[in-house]
A and B are shown apart, each in its own frame.
Chain A
Amino acid sequence: MPVARKSASEYATDIRAAIANRTARYDTGVLAIPDVMVLPHAAVLEAQNEQLRKISLVVSASNEAEFDGVEFSSDLEALVGNEGLLRSLGGRSTVTATFYRQTTPLADVVVPRGYPVGSLPDEASGATIVFVTIETQTMLAASAASYYVAARSRYELDVAVVAAVVGQSGRVAVGRVARELRPLVGFDGVTNLATAAGGRDAETNRELIARYRLAVVGQQLSTPNGILRNIRDRYPDVRDVITVYGTDELLTRAATDAGAVDVYVIGDQLLEATESLTYYGVGQTMAVANPPLRAVLDVVQGATVYVAADDYDAVDDASGYGGSTRAVDGIAFRAGGTQPLPVVGSLVDVTYTYNALIRVLQTESTGEDRAVLERDLLHREGVAVPVTIAANLRVGVGFSAITVLAAVRARVLDLVNVRRGFGARALDDTTALPGALEISDIQGDVRQVTGVDNFTLTTLRRSSAAAGAVVDLTITRNEYPTLADADLVVTLV
């Protein structure tokens, strides 16, 4: 929570009120009591508040302008150290110093490594910059002619030098490096024929904060936890998320897509769309433009209304991209339906709902500011597993059977539909292991309803499965259970 600025005057008001709580007859307005008991404390508290505000700002790394001074540099460095960042101490400028002489050298002349030369004093500040040679260079007498520069009528030897100080101050202009700081036999003088380049001041607090943010954001985007955090932070409609990558058996497209990472999501924002799709023939999928398709609402051509599961079927992608924006979802006409088939090549109007949340997630994750290189991130709808639950309920003596029954039903529906995520894991209990919708979970939950005397499960199965013994229901990691009101049957006994 940010710490608000509070002035000494405001603290004084608080202290006055505190003293007045003891007795309102103390003169807290003028002189003796204010001078000793109110105002000094207020001044100290204001200073303390200022310190707390600074620390609060350091923690949140906000309001960079507050950190222009060096006062909180060490605190800031400690904070960014959590991300493994160190302040850059800056860089030194470099330039080529040209040592020259007018006469032909008769013996080899050496400029040793570490030889210091200085710049002429700055006209404004009087400051000079010391440069040091970073290599040993020799003007060879045997090939003296090669050092001769006719334009300047002298023999020249170029030696790289680096500023002794870090920072932009080392970027001196042409001709400024002109002072030999040690005696150097064999040369008449030194100069620089180009402007010194490079040289960067130590990283400012603002720059450090900017890099810290970059480190945090970068981490968010490139790690499994970062993906989860990003979605959790930005999309409140998402109930649960899992990330599937590497050699995970759930990664159905690993063999074809390099760098594939699937993010399964529970959550939806359903939008409706109507499209005119071309009919190609019986059994041919007429793909919609906005996958993932959730439900087909209407298929018409002119006055002809086609009926689902009679004239056509909704088609979900089974190629490994199902539930994503890459899915090929649509409808396919059957032969032998009630209505006559459309003419091949004609347009059929299809109205459907699709999950816009998946499309938004996909679009934003691949935007320039969020894309991670070499990663093929694909958001997919989690696989909903409709379950059927039946149970016998005996209500305790003295309780309203109707009330208890309603409470039990509400509790079970909430448990399965709201409080369970991928793999039927408990979203409100991070220690619970995913993988199954367990009898004991349902029992434990129902037993918290007051008035339940006995509760016996008679059915617990996937709605698509055949009836059998009541056992814990296995739910894989990219699946989540859903329970329709009609699939929950509780019988009073």
Chain B
Amino acid sequence: MTLYTLKVEDGDFVLDPATGRFVEITGLEKARQDARLCLTKDVGPQGDGCGLDQLVGMMPDSAAALRADISRRVRQGFTKLFELESRYQVADRAPEERLIGVGSVRVWTTDRHSYYLLRVDVRTARGIVSVDQTVVTPGG
């Protein structure tokens, strides 16, 4: 059994032009979307979400400090997501759509530190999904 969710693109639900109904996604595609949403959204009432938007415009003490902060926020947000997935509809969640752990969190920046790129590998029971994100800062 699998669970499905509604497909989100460019911050909005996707409608099927043929039927006018929401497009639903399952399996690995759902897992990837869940990981991407967790990475991009603010920290919600349930505690999920990495809240990286809060770093936009921030003047860091150092690039290393900001990288560490990004990494901490990512792991914290995903840990909460795993907890929620283990609380709700556990029996119905298929292995490939169950996010179970954060692999590597890689953060790069340019010489001027004006923005940071990051890639997060999230483990599922059936493989790894990777998601990318960009954080813009005033930089040097």
Contact = CB atoms under 8 A, between A and B. Distances in A.
Given A29-B85, A32-B5, A35-B37, 10 more contacts: A25-B1, A27-B5, A27-B88, A27-B89, A29-B84, A32-B34, A33-B5, A34-B46, A39-B44, A43-B45
26 contacts: A8-B45, A16-B88, A24-B92, A25-B1, A25-B2, A26-B4, A26-B5, A27-B4, A27-B89, A27-B93, A29-B84, A29-B85, A30-B46, A30-B81, A30-B85, A31-B33, A31-B34, A32-B34, A32-B37, A33-B5, A33-B6, A35-B41, A35-B44, A39-B44, A39-B45, A39-B46
Contact of B88 (A28, A32, A35, A43): A28
Query: Which 9 A/B pairs are nearest by Cβ-Cβ distance?
Result: A29-B88, A27-B3, A27-B5, A31-B37, A32-B5, A30-B84, A32-B6, A39-B45, A31-B34
Nearest to B4: A25
A16 B88 CA distance: 10
Interface string B1-37: 1111110100001000000000000000010011001
Nearest to B45: A39
A165 to B, nearest CB: 44
Interface in B81-124: 81, 84-85, 87-89, 92-93
Given A32-B5, A39-B46, A27 B87 contact: no
Interface residues of A, number: 17
Contacts of A24: 89, 92
Contact of A30 (B8, B13, B48): B48
B92 A25 contact: yes
B124 to A, nearest CB: 13
Nearest to A23: B4
Interface of B: 1-6, 8, 13, 30, 33-34, 37-38, 41, 44-46, 48, 81, 84-85, 87-89, 92-93
Report which residue of B13, B41, B85, B89 has the largest number of chain A beta carbons within 10 angstroms of its beta carbon.
Answer: B89
A29 B85 CA distance: 7
Interface string A347-358: 000000000000
A32 B8 contact: yes
Contacts of B3: 25-27
Contacts of A25: 1-4, 92
Most central of A16, A27, A34, A36 by chain B CB within 10 Å: A27
Contacts of B88: 16, 27-30
Nearest to A31: B37
B116 to A, nearest CB: 23
Contacts of A8: 45
B122 to A, nearest CB: 13
B14 to A, nearest CB: 11
B38 A29 contact: no
A33 B3 CA distance: 12
Interface in A9-44: 16, 24-36, 39, 43
Contacts of A28: 88-89
Nearest to A36: B13
Nearest to B89: A29
Contacts of B87: 29
Contacts of B46: 30, 34, 39
A29 B82 CA distance: 11
Contacts of A16: 88
B45 A31 contact: no
A43 B3 CA distance: 25
Contacts of B38: 31
A8 B44 CA distance: 13
A26 B5 CA distance: 6
A39 B1 CA distance: 25
Most buried by B among A8, A28, A31: A31
